[in-house]
Amino acid sequence: MTQSLVPGAVKILVAGGFGVGKTTMVGSVSEIEPLSTEERITQASVGVDSLDGVRDKSTTTVAMDFGRITLRDDLVLYLFGTPGQFRFWFMWDDLALGALGAIVLADTRRLESSFAAVDYFEQRGVPFAVGVNCFHGRREASAEDVRAALDLDESVPVVLCDVRDRASSKEVLLALLDRVRTGALAAAGQPA
């Protein structure tokens, strides 16, 4: 009788402010049709949610997005996209439970919407990388400009990306996984 191989699971969060591209990123890299809890923005959000900088946005994540990437036969990466609107952030603690790391997506037109996500992961000691979503190919700031604006430690990778593009999104994931690996080796007293 052959023993079945149960894949190991690795959990990564994709987080950030409202409208930065979390749902799009999960969808662009997932090998399965992603689970999405997108709902239409209604009049109920008027005065509660700011559409500054994202006027054309018509839907929002109300719970989470979920995608999967098989890295090896015995290793699966699960992606959980968090809701970006502050009123749904109560879910972040549950989503973050057991996460190996996180990607904080940033939009240079609204960098202030990234501060809370950066603070969240820094306070909990969760390793993260920042993906600067260059909407419509616009690179309005360099990675170092974003690092300075968000007051990030040098160990935090900052990657300019287009979350609509699978290869570009994978670069951000790889930067995060490299940071996690480097941190684990350092904790074990081994050279990176």
pLDDT single digits (tens) 142-157: 999 999 999 999 999 9
Residue range(s) defining the domain that contains residue 107: 8-39+58-187
pTM for the complete prediction?
0.84
Beta bridge partner(s), residue 41: none
- Count each helix (H run) and each strand (E run) in the chain, helices first: 5, 7
Asked if the model's pLDDT at residue 8 lies above 90, the reply is no
Banded model confidence at residue 48, pLDDT cuts 50, 70, 90: low
Strand 158-161 relative to strand 75-81, pairing: unpaired
Banded model confidence at residue 58, pLDDT cuts 50, 70, 90: low
The CA distance from 106 to 101, in Å, is 16
Mean of the pLDDT values across residues 19-30? Answer: 92
Q: Is there a contact between 143 and 108 (Cβ–Cβ < 8 Å)?
A: no
Determine, yes or no, domain membership for 45: no
Considering its fold, how many domains does the chain have in total? 1
Determine, yes or no, domain membership for 148: yes
- What CATH number does residue 20 fall under? 3.40.50.300
Determine, yes or no, domain membership for 51: no
The DSSP output letter for 98 is T
Determine, yes or no, domain membership for 50: no
Query: How would you list the strands of the sheet with 158-161, edge to edge?
Result: 35-40, 59-72, 75-81, 8-16, 101-106, 128-133, 158-161
Determine, yes or no, domain membership for 53: no
